[in-house]
Amino acid sequence: MLKKKKKENTDNTENINEVDNEQLQNEGQDNAQETEATATETTAAPTAEEKLKDELAQANDKYLRLYAEFDNFRRRTIKEREEARKTEGKDVIVALLPVLDDFERAQRAMDKATEVAPVKEGVTLIQNKLKNILGQKGLKEMTSIGNAFDADLHEAITNIPAPTDDLKGKVMDEMEKGYTLNDKVIRFAKVVVGA
């Protein structure tokens, strides 16, 4: 019996050893899996961190490029506006140069003229030419005399007694003509209003 018990003990010990070995192997595998998982997590964390750093660097680069592009656009626009302001009246001035030449000719003609009538006629022609050029550019004279006073178009200098009741509140006289440019008032007519 002793032999049997020894044999059973030996068998039990071997079984226990086998079970322990299996457990150790299982634990070793679990530990290896945990180690791999930890290693994966450890490598994943820097990878995510690296991705975020890369995205941040790309966003900063994109921002800097966009800012530089906007700054260049702003500078270019300012420069173009300055150039446009310097030459915005160029077409009007070029159109008026012939009128200036006509006035110079008229002055030379006045020095030699013995009669006033031809000089008056020449000055009238120059004035009509000037009005036509300005009219082509969109300038129009306002007609004020006899119309009702309108504060949006007229500037009242003074009131005078109206000779008749129908002239009350209407423009009696015009001291300075008013002008519109493309239907916008650029100079108010200075008028005398009947009271």
pLDDT in tens, the chain (195 residues): 445 555 555 555 555 555 455 554 555 555 555 555 554 444 545 688 889 999 999 999 999 999 999 999 999 999 999 988 887 778 888 888 888 888 888 888 888 878 888 888 888 898 999 888 888 888 888 888 888 888 888 888 888 888 888 888 888 888 888 888 888 888 898 888 888
The whole-number pLDDT of residue 39 equals: 47
Q: Delineate the domains of the chain, giving CATH numbers in brackets.
A: 139-195 (2.30.22.10)
Which residues, at least 6 apart from 118, have a Cβ–Cβ distance to it below 8 Å?
A: 109
d(CA 19, CA 36): 25
Side-chain-facing half-sphere of 87: CA atoms under 13 Å: 5
d(CA 154, CA 30): 98
Q: Which residues pair with 148 in a beta bridge?
A: 170
